């Protein structure tokens, strides 16, 4: 009887070692997390702390990084404005922009867009 119960538990999905899904692997490899209150955290950076920078680069279309669909469709505008600021080397001081953190922002947006395109977007 005990062996029968043990067999039931080991054969149930609850106790099997489950492989991470492709989505979970992508999130781990790209260091992307979602916190209920803080929103997306990428590479240890709470992105919604950059909401003023996002608002500036999206022409006030976005104020938070939580809506990945909107971010995906606004990314071209954001990237163009970032590229222009880097090319001109005239950084917006009130936002604390530097070439380094703007390139980091572009990379983070690319990671989130890849995540949205590969796993969240309806096909």
Strand locations in the chain, DSSP E? 32-35, 39-42, 45-46
Q: Where are the domains of the chain?
A: 20-120
Please state at what angle helix 22-29 crosses helix 99-115, rounded to 10 degrees. 180
Q: Each residue's pLDDT tens digit in the chain (123 positions)?
A: 444 444 444 444 454 557 889 999 999 999 999 999 999 999 999 999 999 999 999 999 999 999 999 999 999 999 999 999 999 999 999 999 999 999 999 999 999 999 999 999 886
Backbone phi, then psi, for 14, in 5-degree steps? -65, -35
Q: How far apart are CA 64 and CA 123, in angstroms?
A: 25
Residue 16 has what pLDDT?
52
Nearest to 22 by CA among 106, 88, 123, 114: 114
Query: Are the C-beta atoms of 62 and 74 separated by less than 8 Å?
Result: yes
Q: How far apart are CA 95 and CA 79, in angstroms?
A: 16
């Amino acid at each position: 009887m005990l062996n029968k119960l043990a067999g039931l538990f080991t054969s149930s999905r609850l106790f099997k070692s489950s492989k991470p899904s492709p989505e979970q692997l992508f999130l781990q490899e790209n260091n992307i997390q979602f916190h209920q209150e803080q929103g997306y955290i990428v590479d240890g950076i709470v992105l919604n702390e950059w909401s003023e920078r996002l608002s500036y680069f999206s022409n006030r279309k976005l104020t938070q990084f939580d809506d990945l669909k909107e971010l995906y469709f606004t990314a071209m505008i954001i990237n163009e404005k970032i590229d222009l600021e880097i090319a001109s080397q005239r950084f917006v001081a009130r936002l604390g922009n530097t070439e380094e953190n703007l390139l980091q922002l572009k990379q983070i947006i690319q990671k989130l867009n890849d995540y949205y395109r590969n796993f969240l977007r309806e096909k």
